[in-house]
Amino acid sequence: MIERPETAVPSIAQRNLEGYVGFANLPNQVYRKSVKRGFEFTLMVVGESGLGKSTLINSLFLTDLYSKDYPGPSQRIKKTVQVEQSKVLVKEGGVQLTLTIVDTPGFGDAVDNSNCWQPVINYIDSKCEDFLNAESRVNRRLMPDNRVHCCLYFIAPSGHGLKPLDIEFMKRLHDKVNVIPLIAKADTLTPEECQLFKKQIMKEIQEHKIKIYEFPDTEDDEDSKLIRKIKERMPLAVVGSNVVIEVNGRKVRGRQYPWGVAEVENGEHCDFTVLRNMLIRTHMQDLKDVTNNVHYENYRSKKLAAVTCNGVDTSKTKGQLTKSPLAQMEEERREHVMKMKKMETEMEQVFEMKVKEKKQKLKDSEAELERRHEQMKRNLEAQYKELEEKRRVFEEEKANWEAQQRILEQQKLDASKTMEKNKKKGKIF
């Protein structure tokens, strides 16, 4: 009988441990490390102005990100769609979260809203590109994750269905980012209207094949029950408020109307608590994972495929994506060496220059000294000449004077001689 060879794939046998090894502590280590490192989360809010986006952000994170002193983008009218980002560091229970809120003021507000989604798409793509470049570098110790993890899209509570703008936007963004549609200002709708509206929206979303963020099924029974409840309530109808009002002796956050108080955290009034729990308490990590594993990978494969498909490198980042890591290392080394050389030559140049300068200075001072020396010599000579001149003049005068004296003496002598002669001759008279 021919023995059939055993399949080559070894099955992973389950073994029971005989003692306590200790790797059950791994989650704690991971936990401690991530707590030390801190978390990052980027949330984007998109919707027409006046739908309560800023208020909802304030309510979600219990801070006044947009307050009276720093009014949110919706208080200022914009002519074109802009993308603004604000970073907040939130600390709670030793865990710190760097929260980035990306707002899109001006979206859907103009008369002509064609391509108002373009700035949003550009922003998301640029963040993915930054991450791609950071990932492809050789030295990637600090890799900040600025990719948009979640996009909350605010639907106006018309009660009928999605607007063409809503459909267009979601269709274009559903494979770039996790889109979570929300019904804004849900205190406009009665419970029946809300149900109808939600059903209509889900129907339209399915009709247009829009892929909104799907909650993952877990194995845990309790969790999956919760998740099923969330799925039934999609899209979530939210009301935002940061104002504390007293109702029946309790302090609640809500909106005060003449006919009652709409409580934000009451599950029967709106789905705010569901949104908050989902976004922050249970699914934040999953949102980041989906962004990383699905949306970012889509972007990356599209980008790299585009580059390798065409022979010509059409992408903006030349060279960084087309080489293998080794070649890239070589290139980086060469770059480094070149940089070093350049620095060396630069320094030499600087040195030379300094030396020249000093030399020049010395020469200058030497010349200066010489000049002064010359001048002093000339001065001296001039003085000497002057003196000589004076002496000569003086000598001349002296000679003159002496000559005159002599003449005078001679005259005197002559005069005396003549007088004598005269005397001799006869002073007869």
Partner 1 sequence: MSESAKPHHPHPQGKGEKNHGSDFSYVGIDAILEQMRRKAMKQGFELNIMVVGQSGLGKSTLMNTLFKSKVSRKSVQPDPEERIPKTIEIKSISHDIEEKGVRMKLTVIDTPGFGDQINNENCWQPIMKFINDQYEAYLQEEININRKKRIPDSRVHCCIYFIPPTGHCLRPLDVEFMRRLSKVVNIVPVIAKADTLTLEERDFFKQTIREELRANGIDVYPQKEFDEDAEDRMINDKIREMIPFAVVGSDQEYQVNGKRILGRKTKWGTIEVENIAHCEFAYLRDLLIRTHMQNIKDITGSIHYEMYRVRRLNESNADPSMLVTRK
**Crossing angle for the helix pair 296-309 and 118-136, nearest 10 degrees?**
80
Q: Residue 10 interacts with partner 1 (CB under 8 A)?
A: no
119 sits near partner 1 (criterion: CB under 8 A): no
Question: Most distant CA pair in the chain: distance in Å?
Answer: 201
Map tokens 């504390």 to a residue.
244
d(CA 371, CA 362): 14
CA atoms within a 13 Å half-sphere pointing along the CA-CB vector of 216 = 13
For residue 111, state whether it binds partner 1 (rule: CB under 8 A): yes
Q: Which DSSP helix (H) or strand (E) runs through 120?
A: helix 118-136
Least Å distance, CB 250 to partner 1, is 14
Tokens of 387: 């003196």
* Given 114, 139, 248, 324, the residue binding partner 1 (CB under 8 A): 114
Residue 185, phi then psi, degrees to nearest 5: 50, 55
Distance from the Cα of residue 342 to its chain's centroid: 28
Mask for 167-186, x = binds partner 1 (CB under 8 A): -x----------------x-
Considering the complex, state which of residue 122 and residue 158 has its C-beta at the smaller distance from partner 1: 158
Length of the chain: 429
- Complex with partner 1: residue 42 or 49, whichever CB lies closer: 49
User: Of the two residues 158 and 218, which places its CB atom closer to partner 1 in the complex?
Assistant: 158
User: Residues 90-93: contacts with CB within 8 Å, 24+ apart?
Assistant: 90/61, 90/63
Within residues 69-88, the interface with partner 1 by CB under 8 A covers 74-75, 77
Q: Which stretch binds partner 1 (CB under 8 A): 119-127, 155-163, 211-219, 414-422?
A: 155-163
Using CB under 8 A as the binding rule, whether residue 190 contacts partner 1 is answered as yes
Angle at 5 between CA 4 and CA 11, to 5 degrees: 120
Minimum CB distance to partner 1, residue 217 (Å)? 31
Q: State how far Cα 217 lies from the chain centre.
A: 37
In angstroms, give the least distance from the CB of 242 to partner 1. 13
Dist CA 19 CA 303 (whole Å)? 50
Long-range contacts of 65-69 (CB under 8 A, 24+ apart): 65/101
Would you give the binding string for partner 1 spanning residues 251-290, x where CB under 8 A is met? Answer: ----xxxxxxxxx--x-xx---------------------
**Binders of partner 1: how many residues, by CB under 8 A?**
41
Residue 64 Cα to chain centre, angstroms: 23
Tell me the closest approach of the beta carbon of residue 54 to partner 1, in angstroms.
10
CB contact at 8 A, 41 and 284:
yes
Give the chain's end-to-end CA distance (angstroms, integer).
201
Q: Which one of the spans 106-114, 142-150, 284-292, 329-337 is the region binding partner 1 (CB under 8 A)?
A: 106-114
Taking the least distance from each CB to partner 1, the nearer of 42 and 241 is: 241
Stretch that binds partner 1, among 38-46, 103-111, 302-310, 394-402 (CB under 8 A): 103-111
Q: Which is nearer to partner 1, 20 or 257 (CB)?
A: 257
In the stretch 216-255, what mask flags binding to partner 1 with x, by CB under 8 A? ---------------------------------------x
CA distances (Å), origin 288, targets 84, 279, 282: 21, 11, 12
Does 146 participate in binding partner 1 (rule CB under 8 A)? no
Sign of CA dihedral 365, 371, 375, 376: positive
- Yes or no: say if 147 and 127 are a contact pair by the CB < 8 Å rule: yes
The binding track of 12-51 with respect to partner 1, each residue x by CB under 8 A or -, is ------------------------------------xxxx
Smallest distance, partner 1 to C-beta of residue 152, A: 18
| Site residues for partner 1 per CB under 8 A | 48-51, 74-75, 77, 109-114, 156-161, 163-165, 168, 185, 187-188, 190-191, 200, 255-263, 266, 268-269
